[in-house]
Amino acid sequence: MGMRSIRARLTLWYTGLLTVTLLLLGGAAYLLLAYSLAHDVDAALHGIASTLAEEAHRNPTSPFPAEIDETFRRFFGFSPRDRYFQKLDPFGQRDPHQPGSGKLPLGPRALKNASQGLSTFETLEGLGPYPVRVLTAPVMEGGRVVNLIQVGMSLQNVFTARNRFLLVMAVLLPLGLLLAGGGGWLLARRALKPVQRMTETAHRITAEHLAERVPETEAGDELDRLAKTFNEMLGRLDVAFNQIRQFSADASHELQTPLTILKGELEVALRAPRSAEEYQEVLRSGLEEIDRIAHLVEGLLLLARAQAGVLRMDHQPVDLAELLEEVHGRLKVLADNHSIHLQLGLLEPVTVHGDHERLRRLLLNLVENGIKYTRAGGSVTLSLERQGSWALLRVADTGIGLAEPEQEQIFQPFYRSPEALTLSQSGVGLGLSIARSIALAHGGSIEVSSTPGHGSVFTVRLPGNA
């Protein structure tokens, strides 16, 4: 699993950010510690110096009475005797009668400061194994410097404390990072587990196994939403694949029927010598079957092209009112034969841009259906209306109608309602699919509203540009 794995990248980012954060925090803590240690040393030196100054003032000859020693030990944990200490005259000379460790050098800056009544803190090297912090403080009397007091303290403790802190950090930081990194790695694996499962499922899904679904966690999180979306997509694909499969099966079946009939008729004709009339009859019947096949193939081709978006279309002005009259004229006889009253309703003048031939096909399909699915004595009415920039073509019948669930299905290829089958054997169920494809190819739509037993109204909406 290289850097291309989200898990590795997440862990790396997480650990990197944690490292930076810890380093910053550690650095800040270290600086704070160093500052506060240095401050403590200076405060202690200051405390010692002022106590000593007071004592020197009170008792100039005896610098370290026993109780002073005691006090120091109580407050600071050591006696000035243990440390560096010396008492000088105002010019920086050591008084040989005054005790003290006497090892502290006096720099010109400290001497100058002292002559002005100011204290000086210095860190001096070379006095011992560790640097020594030295305070040079003047002892004032009546606004005059009478003595200088120098106290020093080894910085050993400060150094040890700082080093110990660094050591602890150096051990704990990598350890903490290691633990956090490991934890992050495990957490990332847990969080990405659904993705792993999705990948595995997606691997198993093929056109034959579209029923597979990736597991949903119901957690409502991003991955769960992804899984749901993925499953919804699979659902739609499943439906689409099934439709295509159904379409192929239906198309083959519809083609097979006339071919079987044709084959049977020819075989029978060939079984024995026939008269010329008999051969003519067989040929005529054969031609009829071939017509049916050609018609079917034409419809299938149109649907396939429309679905692929490669339907060739004219873009000529089409006078819809004229087209309706033409269709009415062509199907009047058919309607009369079925004792159905085919009539023209309101015809508003509307012209659209489109394919005359295909729009006629669309209307013929709708009106033929109206005639087929209406019982004798009923009527089919064609009308045309303009609504804003739209043309509304209506074919209304007083036929058998359609139940609610069928109203969407009838536009699917090869769908025929059981009731329709008992009424008319002609047609294979492509008429409305073709009508819809043509409407869509014109940028329009087709819809049906129907009351079972009372009739249906098919409305075609076409974008008009008269």
Nearest to 443 by CA among 461, 429, 418: 461
Does position 299 interact with ligand ADP (CB under 6 A)? The reply is no
* Minimum distance, C-beta of residue 399 to ligand ADP, in the bound complex (Å): 5
How far apart are the C-alpha atoms of 30 and 334, rounded to whole Å?
Answer: 102
* Minimum distance, C-beta of residue 402 to ligand ADP, in the bound complex (Å): 5
Quick one: tokens of 265? 């008729």
Does position 402 interact with ligand ADP (CB under 6 A)? The reply is yes
Judged by CB under 6 A, the stretch of 46-54, 184-192, 218-226, 363-371 that binds ligand ADP is 363-371
Does position 258 interact with ligand ADP (CB under 6 A)? The reply is no
> Phi, psi at residue 465, to the nearest 5°?
-140, 75
Nearer to ligand ADP, 63 or 399 (CB): 399
* Minimum distance, C-beta of residue 338 to ligand ADP, in the bound complex (Å): 13
What DSSP line would sit under 204-256, residue for residue?
Answer: H--GGGTT--PPP--S-SHHHHHHHHHHHHHHHHHHHHHHHHHHHHHHHHHHH
Nearer to ligand ADP, 51 or 433 (CB): 433
Nearer to ligand ADP, 49 or 430 (CB): 430
* Minimum distance, C-beta of residue 431 to ligand ADP, in the bound complex (Å): 3
With contacts defined by CB under 6 A, how many residues of the chain interact with ligand ADP?
Answer: 22
Q: Where in 443-462 is the site for ligand ADP (CB under 6 A)?
A: 456
Quick one: tokens of 234? 């699979």
Does position 382 interact with ligand ADP (CB under 6 A)? The reply is no
Closest residue to bound ligand ADP by CB: 427
Residue located via tokens 């989200």 = 6
Nearer to ligand ADP, 337 or 409 (CB): 409
Given 50, 79, 101, 417, the residue binding ligand ADP (CB under 6 A): 417
* Minimum distance, C-beta of residue 454 to ligand ADP, in the bound complex (Å): 10
Helix, strand, or coil (residue 386): strand
Contacts of 8 (CB under 8 A, 6+ apart): 1, 2
Contacts of 140 (CB under 8 A, 6+ apart): 117, 146
How far apart are the C-alpha atoms of 7 and 2, rounded to whole Å?
Answer: 10
Given 416, 445, 447, 459, the residue binding ligand ADP (CB under 6 A): 416
| 123 bridge partner residues | 133
Helix, strand, or coil (residue 372): helix
Nearer to ligand ADP, 162 or 394 (CB): 394
How far apart are the C-alpha atoms of 70 and 79, rounded to whole Å?
Answer: 8
How far apart are the C-alpha atoms of 181 and 443, rounded to whole Å?
Answer: 59
Nearer to ligand ADP, 278 or 298 (CB): 298
Does position 429 interact with ligand ADP (CB under 6 A)? The reply is yes
Nearer to ligand ADP, 115 or 412 (CB): 412
* Minimum distance, C-beta of residue 285 to ligand ADP, in the bound complex (Å): 22
Given 428, 438, 441, 446, the residue binding ligand ADP (CB under 6 A): 428
* Minimum distance, C-beta of residue 377 to ligand ADP, in the bound complex (Å): 15
Contacts of 264 (CB under 8 A, 6+ apart): none
Does position 431 interact with ligand ADP (CB under 6 A)? The reply is yes
* Minimum distance, C-beta of residue 458 to ligand ADP, in the bound complex (Å): 7
Does position 51 interact with ligand ADP (CB under 6 A)? The reply is no
Q: Which amino acid is at 11?
A: T
**CA dist 446 to 143, 368, 405, Å?**
111, 16, 17
300 backbone φψ class: left, alpha, beta (φ>0; ψ -120 to 50):
alpha
Q: Which amino acid is at 101?
A: S
Does position 369 interact with ligand ADP (CB under 6 A)? The reply is yes
Does position 432 interact with ligand ADP (CB under 6 A)? The reply is yes
Given 84, 150, 397, 398, the residue binding ligand ADP (CB under 6 A): 397
How far apart are the C-alpha atoms of 462 and 436, rounded to whole Å?
Answer: 11
Does position 415 interact with ligand ADP (CB under 6 A)? The reply is yes
Q: What is the 3-state secondary structure (H, E, C) of 437-452?
A: HHHHHCCCEEEEEEEC
Given 410, 439, 446, 460, the residue binding ligand ADP (CB under 6 A): 410
How far apart are the C-alpha atoms of 446 and 306, rounded to whole Å?
Answer: 15
Does position 247 interact with ligand ADP (CB under 6 A)? The reply is no
Does position 373 interact with ligand ADP (CB under 6 A)? The reply is yes
Nearer to ligand ADP, 131 or 399 (CB): 399
Q: Which amino acid is at 76?
A: F
Binding site residues, ligand ADP, CB under 6 A: 365, 369-370, 373, 397, 399-402, 410, 415-417, 420, 427-433, 456
